Structure 1
Amino acid sequence: MRLATFNLESLDLPRGGEAALSRRIAVLAPLLNRLRADVLCLQEVNARKGEGRQAGGQRRPTALQRLLNASDYAGHSLTVSRSLSGDGPADVHNLALVSRFPVLALRELRNDLVPPRRYAAVTAVPPEAGDLTLAWDRPLLYCLLELPGGGRLHVINLHLRSPLAAPIPGQKMGAQKIGGQKGAPPVWSSVAGWAEGLLAATIMRSGQALEARLLVEEIFDADPAALVAVCGDLNAGVEETPGRILRAAVEDSGNPALASRALYALEQTLPIERRHTVIHAGRPLMLDHLLVSQSLRQCFTGIEALNDALPDEEEMAEDDPRSNHAPLVAAFDL
């Protein structure tokens, strides 16, 4: 079995129209084919409004469907996460799972196991606007797959929040008000506000990781030997808080009796020079991960990061058809 994860970076029908989408497909389809994945977890899948939206039509992941149809994954089962309203996919940042194996069960979680957090912002302007609710802006997608021979694979696809600072009331202003160009993104009005926004983003990102970890605990409670894979973009390294929450390593818990519940970051077996899925301003970063249970790790035979042509995201043109993430694929002998 081959299991892969890939952040497609806002796959949609771009502003350049059909020609721009065709350029993206020409780049991405061969990369997907190189993965030869039986199970493929995708992030940042956007969805256009369907015809007749006002009459009850749903958004559709048109660009993803066209990409898959142009690849070796045409005909595989496709599951896409839904918007908060449940009315089809969200407009941006959907999760998708493509599988050669039958899907036995599906579940989406967004503040189901970890409720939204009440937070009193100390830098809000005015102060009475500081009563905030920190909720996840996208779900995690759980799929139970039937493997050949009757085994079952639990797959959790997730995309954790970016570490960019979250909004704090009254702490951002339009750049044009301080001499910036019209249409430039808002800027922070104080360092204190930005710092608190970063704290809020960190709470939400770690909360998402906790929700995924609690789902893993549910799976282990039902079957301590379950085959579990947590796949996706953590926007963090495995040594950072979200990665530590998900892995639950013995060195963190301090309890050897919990060792069977730890998840293992397979990319740690890669040579250090290949251990990255993003390049930011010349710095190689490992933000995308395949974390697996001990029983699945015992079947592990190898992993590859397809980062040989990975661009530096700081140097990419707006119309560059590539993703700024490299896919990660692992092989298992089941």
Structure 2
Amino acid sequence: MRLATFNIESLDLPTRSEPPFEARAAALRPALERLAADILCLQEVNGQHVPGAPERRLVALDLLLEGTRYAAYHRAATSGADGRGVASVHNLVTLSRFPILERREVRHAYMAPVEYRYVTGSAKGGAPQPVAFDRPLLLTEIELPGAKSLDVINAHLRARRASAIPGEKVDSATWRTTGGWAEGYFISALKRTAQALELRLLIDERLASAPGRLIAVAGDFNAEDHETPLRLAVAGEDDTGNSRLASSALIVLDRALPPDRRWSVLHAGRREMLDHVLASQALYGRLRGIEVHNEGLADEVLAAGGGVAASYHAPLVAEFGWG
């Protein structure tokens, strides 16, 4: 059984798509086929308006998957703000060759938004404002051969870019003050870290209800192995200091990659592993291998303007023994 994750970089249709959709599809389809995934977690799938329909739908994704193995897969996706259709941007989508038994979006289910009082900009000194997650986690329970089921949590934590601070931007790319930028960067880190905590609480709940449960967490964490979001999600024995909690810890599967291959993003010449597949102890016992397909990855900073046809993220696929 092959489980993959791929941030496909704001997949969309004109007029919001640059490069054109046809160019993107020509680059993305071979990458998807190479994964040969039984379960595929996608991030940054945008939704489109359909004439006569009240909600957005995943039209671009349907066109991308046309003619591939994934077109007939079972599907779960995050929804729009009103619960109908999908969101306009950055939906999570999980595709599965096997039936999906349960689908649940998890957003502030275990912790309320942090109340925060701005210290810069036009909102400085005002009433505390809730700092909400950009998008939910997407939990699916998937029926596997042999009467087994697998929990798959598709995750996309807040990017490292600074969040907007009222009155602190000259334009979309320019900050008015260094303090405003610093506060925006802090807010993004707060969102990323808080959602990693919610992810850990979700994992704890699933394991408490069924010790030995098979759990995979896959997605774009916007964090490397040693950073706080990963440490919160993993809850390793080296952090908890309690061997009795070791069965609840997750394993970072990309640690099995050779050091010179362990990167999923190229940022100004610096190789970073921001995309991960994590596994519960029971699932880890079935691991047979892991690959990262980063051979043709463009530098997200140095690439020519206008976007990239494929993605600035490399896909990652883990293979597990079954049967």
- Both proteins in one fold, TM over 0.5: yes
Asked if 1:188 is matched to 2:175, the reply is: yes
Q: Which residue of 1 aligns with 2:59?
A: 62
Of the structure 1 ranges 119-128 and 16-25, higher mean CA displacement relative to structure 2 is found in: 16-25
| Superposition CA RMSD, Å | 1.6
Cα 1:206–1:319, aligned 2, differ >3 Å: closer, same or farther? closer
Gaps in structure 1 of 5+ consecutive residues? 175-184
CA distance 1:70–1:254, shift in 2 (3 Å): same
Structure-2 separation of matches of 1:173 and 1:17:
25
Q: Could you say what secondary structure the match of 2:232 adopts?
A: helix
Corresponding residue for residue 308 of structure 1: 295
1:169-184 correspondence runs (5 A) = 169-174=166-171
Q: 1:173, CA displacement in angstroms?
A: 2.5
Of 211, 214, 228, which aligns to 1:241? Answer: 228
Alpha-carbon distance, 1:130 to partner: 5.6
Deviation at 1:18, TM superposition (A): 11
TM-score normalised per structure 2 = 0.95
Deviation per CA, 1:216-243, whole angstroms, max 9, x where unpaired? Answer: 0111101110000000000110210100
2:43 matched to which residue of 1?
43
Which of these residues, 113, 130, 136, is aligned with residue 133 of structure 2?
A: 136
| CA apart distance, 1:297 | 0.4
List structure 1 runs of 4+ shifted beyond 4 angstroms: 16-19
Superposition pairs of residues 20-99 of structure 1, within 5 angstroms:
20-53=20-53, 57-99=54-96
Write the deviation string for residues 181-201 of structure 1: whole angstroms up to 9, x where unpaired. Answer: xxxx25222212221221111
C-alpha displacement at 1:167, in angstroms?
2.0
The residue number in structure 1 matching 2:120 is 123
> SS of the residue aligned with 1:173?
strand
In the alignment, the residues of structure 1 paired with residue 222 and residue 183 of structure 2 have an alpha-carbon distance, to the nearest angstrom, of 19
Asked if the contact 2:119–2:125 (Cα under 8 Å) also holds between the matched residues in 1, the reply is no
The Cα shift of 1:16 comes to 8.2
- In 1: Cα distance, 2:115 partner to 2:146 partner: 47
Asked if the contact 2:78–2:93 (Cα under 8 Å) also holds between the matched residues in 1, the reply is yes
The 8 Å contact of residues 263 and 271 in structure 2, kept in 1 or not, is answered as yes
User: What count of residue pairs does the alignment treat as equivalent?
Assistant: 321
Q: Which residue of 2 is the match for residue 13 of structure 1?
A: 13
Structure 2's unaligned 5+ residue stretches are none
CA distance in 2, matches of 1:198, 1:16: 26
Match of 2:147 among 150, 153, 157: 150
How far is 1:84 from its partner?
A: 2.0
Q: Identity of aligned pairs, percent?
A: 47
What SS class does the counterpart of residue 30 from structure 2 fall into? helix
Q: Which deviates the most, 40-49 or 198-207?
A: 198-207
Does the 8 Å contact 2:11/2:17 carry over to 1?
no
Match of 2:213 among 226, 232, 237: 226
In the alignment, what sits opposite 1:327?
A: 315
**Normalised by the size of structure 1, how large is the TM-score?**
0.92
Provide the residue aligned with 2:241 in structure 1: 254
Does residue 1:213 correspond to 2:200, yes or no? yes
- CA–CA distance in structure 1, aligned partners of residues 6 and 264 of structure 2: 9
Quick check: 1:305–1:327 contact (8 Å CA) kept in 2?
yes
